[in-house]
Structure 1
Amino acid sequence: MDDDLDRVLTAVGPRLRALRRARGVTLADLAEATGISASTLSRLESGRRRPNLELLLPLARAHGVPLDELVGAPPTGDPRVHFRPVRRHGMTFLALSRRPGGTQAFKMIIPGALHDVVPEPKTHEGHEWLYVLDGRLRLVLGEQDIVLTPGEAAEFDTRVPHWLGAADPGPVEVLILFGPQGERAHVKART
């Protein structure tokens, strides 16, 4: 077996273990979801069993990840940009655009576990537009403490102290447009 293939296969076990543990799944749970015995899964994770497609395909499906991610396949030269979520302060941000210097679009997911965090409003240069997709968003904006629900939007100058969080134990999904100072939304039509 060539060294590159051997290196890829050797790295699969630790990658499988890390993925399972990061998701808080037990070997028994994973065995039930995949139909692969817990002992086989344990041997795969420890490197005592070589991975094969019959084992990796159900594992990729159970974890909801592409097979390439399980085996750490090298990039194939795909020219498209694949945005990766970024986690900050317990929240997940997914960049939806990459226009340097212009308006940036993000999807933000705030876990409900953060609903009881004491707000610490911050300021920075720019202008922000929010649209709540799901859940209840708590927006502290200056002296105002507002709860926005799905379908509601807010627009504000980010030099005003502001803070975003979950209003209750449920998660919140928000679309955010952030633009440089002075840039405002231009409405072309109203119904």
Structure 2
Amino acid sequence: MDDISSTMDAIGPRLRRLRKQRDLTLTGLARTTGISVSTLSRLESGQRRATIELLLPLARELRVAMDDLIGAPETGDPRLRSKPITRNGMTLLPLTQRAGNLQAYKLIIYPKRRPRRPEVSSHEGYEWLYVLNGRLRLVLGGNDLVMGPGEAAEFDTKTPHWFGNADEHPVEVLTLFGHQGERAHLRAASSRAKKQAQGE
């Protein structure tokens, strides 16, 4: 029982450390997980005991394995068991699971029935793209480029940008970007899907 109690007591400080490593505020984490600021604050200070219902969305948003959040002992197995995130015609497969400012992903972008209209966005950060398979269209500032397998691009994400399929086939891409970049691209994909559903 003492081991279980000490493990549970350690979750709060670990949660606070992971949140700060992500440069997230309590308000920001509350907004993306649906957990109230007061509940998060009490979790971090140890005034509230963690439950599976609270830990699951936190582990997903902080992009760490549940074992890392609760401090389970290392197994020595280096294989990643990240779960893909699929939203609105795009799949993100995390290739890293440790907290940090820079994360690696494999993106699979599926073609839409109707051609996508580039809707550029900008945000803080830096991004690196490498095309594995298919053809990627990259709109960056005043440039409109088509990239094939083996081609790479890197850019400051404060420059208005968009990328997607260059034709009717899926495109697979390796990308490096920070947490803000991940959220920006998922939000943009969600916005496009909503407009298409409204017939715009």
Q: TM-score, length-normalised on structure 2?
A: 0.48
Please tell me whether Structure 1 or Structure 2 has the larger radius of gyration of its CA atoms.
1
More helix by share: 2
